[in-house]
Amino acid sequence: MLADFAAVVDKGTRDEALLSSIDWERLPRHVAVIMDGNGRWAAKRGQPRIIGHRAGVEAVRASVDTGARLGLKALTLYAFSTENWKRPRLEVDALMRMLRRYIRLELDEIDRQNIRFQTIGRTDSLAPNVQREINRATERTASNTGMILSVALHKWRDANL
Ligand code: IPE
Ligand code: MG
């Protein structure tokens, strides 16, 4: 809803122009995002991949906030594809830490925005501390009635390696 953006969008900015061009009658109900290109984004700036992943988390934060304000019914983020599990151990570990940290830092805000958090795909091969964070967020937001935020994960054993 337009009023929901009042506090976060300043007059005369590109965001305001974008906002005013929205046809509110024709918004999609469900938006799904395949997250990709973090590494290339960083490489273009002469930075290590992890910097790209960090920027990716910021993009997620902005997408979740915007989706909820727009009143989307569902936002699905395809965060860890099969290909992601074949990466160097250090990078996979860093991505897992970032997922855990994202949930930890954002859960209050997600709950405040009445968002229902869930994962799709199997989570049972994720590190126990990541699973714990996922379960905590899922349980805490289970009765929320706003946007459904799904993080799509692929279990490595399903990956047919
Ligand atoms: C998306 O970016 C990463 C994840 C969703 C984990 P990539 O890490 O695939 O970056 P590129 O595609 O190599 O640039
Ligand atoms: Mg990629």
Q: pLDDT tens digits for the chain (161 residues)?
A: 778 888 888 888 998 998 989 999 999 999 999 999 999 999 999 999 999 999 999 999 999 999 999 999 999 999 887 778 788 989 989 999 999 999 999 999 999 999 999 999 888 878 899 999 999 999 999 999 999 999 998 755 544 44
Q: How far is the CA of 113 from the centre of ligand 2 (A)?
A: 30
pLDDT of residue 157: 52
Q: pLDDT value at position 83?
A: 76
> Which one-letter DSSP state was computed for residue 88?
-
pLDDT of residue 27: 94
What's the predicted TM-score (pTM) here?
Answer: 0.91
The secondary element (H helix, E strand) that includes residue 32 is strand 30-34
Distance CA 67, CA 147 (A): 8
- Do 110 and 141 contact (CB within 8 A), yes or no? yes
Indicate if 84 belongs to the active site: yes
Q: Identify the nearest ligand to the CA of 42 by its number.
A: 1
Among 69, 77, 66, 130, residue whose Cα is nearest residue 104: 130
Answer yes or no: 38 catalytic: no
- Domains, the chain, in order of start with CATH, read 31-153 (3.40.1180.10)
Q: Give pLDDT, residue 155.
A: 59
